[in-house]
Amino acid sequence: MLAEVWPFVERRHAAGQRVVLARLVRRSGPGSRPLGATMAVASDGGWTGSISGGCVEGLLLDEARAVLDGAEPRLTSVSPGADLMPWEPAPACSGELGVLICPVPGGRVFAAIAAALANRRPLALATELTPPFRWSTAAERLGLPQDESHFVEELRPGPVLVLVGATDLAAALATLAVPLGHRVVVVDPRPAYAQPERVPAGADVVCTWPDEWLAATELGASDAVLVVTHDPRIDDRAIRAALAGPVGYVGVLGSRDTHARRLARLAGLPGLDRLCGPAGLDLGAASLAQTALSMLAEVVAVGNGRTGGRLRDLSGSIRTVSPQPVA
């Protein structure tokens, strides 16, 4: 997706490099990546992103570098496995892919994309699929052409993940969550804990009581709260405030015995049945990093309306189709 490669685009742009995008705009048949999947190829030889997970990237690198060398932008068709012999097995993503290869837009469009991603604002983008492949932007999809001669992609802010407690576990959770597109906010009333250097870049740290912050902040059903201080004086206030709001997931750290005592303290609290504790999926997590992975995996599964079971034991679509979040 465009948001996935944009940090690379901005770094190369700032360094004076030219960048060409290869964007998946059409597909017939199955594929490993959704429409909008994007590669970015820079004039210094660097590149990032993927269109098919590995099947056609080599071909598209050659096409993108040709455009960097002066060839005209183009809408090209590629078929994974087209160069195989008849007896060789075709890759899983064997449909025909329509890929638009054109330079990164400049001027107002570049500025609009950069501002939307930096400020976590929604933005809709339309690209003509015929020369000269002009780009246009609008606040929402309805403000753009709705026909087959345009490819429209929506950038939407990713969900908010509120981590109550600036602990080492919160830092591990933030490290995983920021690249997934979450806006991470760590809330802790203890000044000695609420230090920006305790969490990775991209996460915000707020030194205040979590119930006060939650009451004053507009959150939605796609957002999540994970309570990880392991201190009932802080945890219980956060849980009460989170369950009183609209967030779609509220999870809490603790053993089963600790959680049983917590439930006894909070007995009768409206929405208590929504509280996920102990938070996480059954990964057998032993280390801090594994615990963070377990907890964040549950957040993602619940956000996508999934159970978090093993894919080999389930049927149906593997991927949840949803608008691309702003990273």
The answer on 294 and 262 residing in a single domain is yes
Residue 36 lies in a domain: yes
Residue 35 lies in a domain: yes
> In this structure, are 222 and 113 located in the same domain?
no
pLDDT at 91: 52
Of the candidates 155, 185, 205, which is a domain's last residue? 155
Please tell me the predicted confidence (pLDDT) of residue 321.
53
Residue 121 has pLDDT above 60, yes or no: yes
- Indicate the range of 22-31, 80-89, 284-293 predicted with least confidence: 80-89
Indicate whether 143 and 15 sit together in one domain: yes
CATH number for the domain harbouring residue 292: 3.40.50.720
Q: Given a cut of 80, is residue 92 above it in pLDDT?
A: no
- What count of residues does the chain have? 327
Whether the CB-CB separation of 95 and 29 falls below 8 Å is answered with: yes
- Among residues 123, 155, 187, which one ends one of the domains? 155
pTM value is 0.79
Determine the structural domain holding residue 139 and report its residue range.
2-155
Higher model confidence: residue 54 or residue 204?
204
Over 44-104, what HEC string results? CCCEEECCCCCCCHHHHHHHHHHHHCCCCCEEEEECCCCCCCCCCCCCCCCCEEEEEEEEC
> Is 76 in the same domain as 213?
no
Do residues 218 and 110 both lie within one domain? Answer: no
pLDDT of 80: 66
Residues 51, 17: Cα–Cα separation, whole Å:
22
321 located within any domain = no
Q: Are residues 7 and 143 in the same domain?
A: yes
**Of 160, 156, 108, nearest in space to 134 by CA:** 108
Same domain, 150 and 21: yes
Burial of 255 (0-12, 13-18, 19+ CB in 10 A): exposed
User: Are 151 and 170 in a shared domain?
Assistant: no
Beta-bridged to residue 97, according to DSSP, are: 27, 78
pLDDT of 323 higher than 60 = no
Residues 128-146, mean pLDDT to the nearest whole number: 92
Note the pLDDT of residue 310.
85
Q: How confident is the model at residue 324 (pLDDT cuts 50, 70, 90)?
A: very low
* Whether 150 and 168 share a structural domain: no
How many Cα neighbours within 13 Å face the side chain of 216?
8
Check whether 327 has a pLDDT greater than 80.
no
How far apart CA 177 and CA 261 sit, in angstroms, is: 29
Question: What percent of the chain has pLDDT above 90?
Answer: 69
Statement: residue 137 has pLDDT above 90: yes
Instruction: Indicate if 58 and 132 belong to the same structural domain.
Output: yes
> What whole-number distance in Å separates Cα of residue 209 and Cα of residue 226?
14
- Looking at the domain assignment, is residue 326 inside a domain? no
> DSSP letter string over 6-32?
HHHHHHHHHTT--EEEEEEEEEES--S
Considering the domain architecture, whether residues 147 and 268 belong to the same structural domain is answered as no
CA-CA distance, 283 to 292, in Å (whole number)? 11
**Of residues 250, 309, 303, 253, the one with CA closest to residue 278:** 253
Question: Angle between the 2-14 and 107-119 helix axes, to the nearest 10 degrees?
Answer: 120
pLDDT at 124 over 90: yes
Kindly state whether residues 184 and 251 are assigned to the same domain: yes
Q: How many domains does the chain have?
A: 2
> Quick one: pLDDT band at residue 325, thresholds 50, 70, 90?
very low
- The pLDDT value recorded for residue 179 is 86
38 falls within a domain? yes
The pLDDT of residue 320: 66
The whole-angstrom separation of Cα 195 and Cα 166 is 8
Q: Which residues does 150 contact at the CB level (< 8 Å), separation at least 6?
A: 126, 127, 128, 129, 144
pLDDT in tens, 259-304: 999 999 999 999 999 999 999 999 999 999 999 999 999 999 999 9
Mean pLDDT across the chain: 89
Q: What is the pLDDT of residues 42-78, one digit of tens each?
A: 999 999 999 886 668 888 999 999 999 999 999 998 8
Side chain identity at residue 196, one-letter code: P
Domain end residue (candidates: 108, 135, 155) = 155
- Assigned domain for 323 exists: no
